[in-house]
Amino acid sequence: MESQLTLRLPPSLATKLSRAARRLRRKRSEVVRLALEEFVETGGAPLEVRPIERVRDLLGRVESGIPDLGQRHREYLLRRLRRGR
């Protein structure tokens, strides 16, 4: 490595980092490098939303405001997933 960076983490973030490193079987510094690379490459844009988050408002509701949701539920789900809402 050519450059070294020292940073301070709040205890909660340090704990999450340690857990992630154990789960991934990598060193904490490697996990930080990977996360930093991802952040820099995406320009700090939020990570892609999980598919379930795109359709969460359609699930588990009695009243959705969509009159034909029961008959055309598959179409609505697929459209919402493709749209990337």
In tens, the pLDDT along 21-67 reads: 999 999 999 999 999 998 888 777 766 777 777 777 777 656 667 77
Give the pLDDT of residue 1.
Answer: 66
Spatial separation of the C-alpha atoms in residues 32 and 48, rounded to whole Å: 19
Structure tokens, 29: 């510094």
